[in-house]
Amino acid sequence: MVTVTLKGNPVKLYGKQLEVGQDAPDFTVQKNDLSEYIFTGATGKRMIIVSVPSLDTAVCDMETRRFNDEAGKLPDCEIVTVSMDLPFAQKRWCGAAGVDKLITVSDHAGASFAKSYGVLIEGGPLDRLMARAVFVVGRDNKLTYVEYVKEIGEEPDYEAVLDALK
């Protein structure tokens, strides 16, 4: 079991945390144009799936901008950032931040992703938001890297994420 904290205080996560070698679970979320984004496996491409509490926070902003920059250098890799932010807020944020190389999706309606990936926060000030985590999915739909960032206010290990793609 992974321990995640917010300002040093433990945070309860709903569901079972994933591990390297497992199949990436399916999920259905909403793109910022309000259409569905349905993940039913990596189907021959590499993916980075990132969960963040909210794009409107400093660390999530930095992290999403960084992965957007990396997306421009990884032509055969799709990067998806998932948050509970409403699609309208995601669209506004992406426009203001110039984020256009990755896909932002909202899990606000059913928490499909958050429950399947074990990142849904239960209780406390971030109730029903998501813990910060990164999942790298290989072409065979197997998880090749899993990081539940131990302190929600910190960034993930970008180098380890990128190394997992090699």
Q: What domains can be seen in the chain, in order of their start residue?
A: 4-164 (3.40.30.10)
Instruction: Name the residues annotated as catalytic.
Output: 60
Runs of H (alpha helix) within the chain? 58-71, 87-97, 112-116, 158-164
Q: Dihedral (C-alpha) 127, 128, 131, 133: value to the nearest 10 degrees? A: 180
pLDDT tops 90 at residue 41: no
Give the pLDDT confidence score for residue 82 in this predicted structure. 98
Provide mean pLDDT across the span 45-49.
Answer: 94
pLDDT tops 90 at residue 45: no
Give the pLDDT confidence score for residue 98 in this predicted structure. 94
The string of DSSP letters for 44-84 reads TSEEEEEE-S-TTSHHHHHHHHHHHHHHTT-TTEEEEEEES
Provide mean pLDDT across the span 24-45.
Answer: 92
Above pLDDT 90, what percent of the chain?
90
How does pLDDT run across 147-159, given as a tens digit for each residue? 999 999 999 999 9
pTM as predicted: 0.96
Residues 6+ apart with CB under 8 A from 163: none
Q: CA-CA distance, 71 to 5, in Å (whole number)?
A: 28
How does pLDDT run across 68-122, given as a tens digit for each residue? 999 989 978 999 999 999 999 999 999 999 999 999 999 999 999 999 999 999 9
Q: What's the number of CA atoms in the CB half-sphere (13 Å) around residue 148? A: 22
